[in-house]
Amino acid sequence: MTVVVFVESKNGNLVKAGLEAVSYGKRIGETTVVTFGDLSSDALAGAGTYGASKVLVHRGITEGNGDQLTQLVAKTAESLGADVVVLAQDQTGKSIGPRIAAKLGAGHVSSAVDVPDTSNGFVVKTNVFSGKAFAHVAVNSAIKVISYTPNSLAATKDGGNAPVEELNLDLGDNRITVKERKLQEGDVAPLPEAELVVSAGRGLKGPENWGIVEDLAKTLGATTACSRPVADIGWRPHHEHVGQTGIAIRPNLYIASGISGAIQHLAGVNGSKTIVVINTDAEAPFFKAADYGVIGDAFEVLPRLTEAIKKFKESNN
């Protein structure tokens, strides 16, 4: 099968979720990566390492926007006669994945967590009911578009060198004008693609107490998250809210402190590979979903855990 994978870049590098999508694509067929912006040949070579056999870069657009990116991917897929288009289901993916599908007349599968099963048709396992179940979705159209859930599968470095070609497609107008862009600073991974997440809830008692949460996150190199009430009362920014009505995440490690583990919270985090719960209440429902539980006071346990991680990191260097 011919596969086209769209990959975005950040700070001059192809994003991790996109590279996972490349490895995903390679498991389906011969994969061409399409990307955009002013990227170095080193950065582009990364796509080959993860399984692309060719990389197409459009340098005419430097900032992602839905109208032109939809054109970029749809036109590339058409010109290569692609059977499958893959992209990561992050914010950009949500904005363009279904549009690309509608443009191509393709069936679209969102929240894919595994490679398609082609033993009988083309069936993709997807996350539904906010992580409480999976749907196995058959795609009946000739062309198929798959939005891949970040962190579902590892990016594997089993590729080689991929030639890079410049694309000079006319992508039409962009009808949305960006007035201002505020990007998070630093190198911390955004929530949907973070591998390590440190989260806290109402048990922390007030925004002034988040220092111990941030210390742990910093020591681990983790992204911070929070429960819904904490975002609602303004202790933490909205973009940190995880759960059924917030962001759904599936990191390798989710550390939750002072969060009771309400069903709506669990819905967004139960895809995490390993869950650590820190709570004073031994009866907190979260322990039922936890791999490791610490019955104790977050105000004491978090700093202790931070110290233990520091020690571990030093001895491993």
Partner 1 sequence: MKLLVCISKAPDTTAKIAFTDGDTKFDENGVQFIVNPYDEWYALVRALELTETSGGTVTTITVGTAADDPTIRKALAIGATDAVRIDADPKDSFYVAKQIAEYAKANEYDIVLTGKETINYNGAQVGAMVAELLGQPFVSLATKLEVAGNVATLERDVSGGIEVVEVGTPFVLSAAKGMAEQRIPNMRGIMAARTKPLNVVQPVDCDDLTSVVAYSKPDEKAACKYIDPENMDELVNLLHTEAKVI
Ligand X SMILES: Cc1cc2nc3c(=O)[nH]c(=O)nc-3n(C[C@H](O)[C@H](O)[C@H](O)COP(=O)(O)OP(=O)(O)OC[C@H]3O[C@@H](n4cnc5c(N)ncnc54)[C@H](O)[C@@H]3O)c2cc1C
Among 117, 281, 291, 307, binds ligand X (CB under 6 A): 281
Helix or strand (DSSP H, E) at 55: strand 54-58
Told to check if 257 binds ligand X by CB under 6 A, we report yes
Among 51, 201, 246, 261, binds partner 1 (CB under 8 A): 246
CA distance readout (Å), 113 to 10, 123, 239, 289: 23, 12, 23, 20
Span from 15-23, 35-43, 166-174, 292-300 in contact with ligand X (CB under 6 A): 292-300
By CB under 6 A, the count of residues binding ligand X is: 27
Q: CA 58, CA 142: separation in Å to the nearest integer?
A: 26
Contact between residue 44 and residue 164 where contact means Cβ atoms under 8 Å apart: yes
Q: CA 186, CA 144: separation in Å to the nearest integer?
A: 36
Told to check if 309 binds partner 1 by CB under 8 A, we report yes
Taking CB within 5 to 8 Å according to partner kind, which of ligand X, partner 1, none is near residue 10? partner 1
CA distance readout (Å), 116 to 55, 63, 101, 194, 304: 23, 31, 17, 24, 44
Contact between residue 126 and residue 109 where contact means Cβ atoms under 8 Å apart: yes
Told to check if 227 binds ligand X by CB under 6 A, we report yes
**Residue whose CB is less far from ligand X, 37 or 243:** 243
In this structure, what token pair is assigned to residue 214?
């941030």
Taking CB within 5 to 8 Å according to partner kind, which of partner 1, ligand X, none is near residue 54? none
Q: CA 27, CA 94: separation in Å to the nearest integer?
A: 23
Taking CB within 5 to 8 Å according to partner kind, which of ligand X, partner 1, none is near residue 62? none
Contact between residue 302 and residue 278 where contact means Cβ atoms under 8 Å apart: yes
**Residue whose CB is less far from partner 1, 83 or 90:** 90
Q: How far is the CB of 45 from partner 1 (least distance, A)?
A: 22
Q: Scan residues 175-214 and list those touching ligand X (CB under 6 A).
A: 201-203
Helix or strand (DSSP H, E) at 78: helix 66-80
Told to check if 153 binds partner 1 by CB under 8 A, we report no
In this structure, what token pair is assigned to residue 84?
């499958």
Q: Scan residues 120-139 and list those touching partner 1 (CB under 8 A).
A: 123, 125, 127-139
Q: How far is the CB of 300 from ligand X (least distance, A)?
A: 8
Among 2, 30, 80, 95, binds partner 1 (CB under 8 A): 95
**Chain contacts with ligand X (rule: CB under 6 A):** 201-203, 227-230, 243-246, 257-260, 262, 264-265, 268, 278-281, 284, 297-299
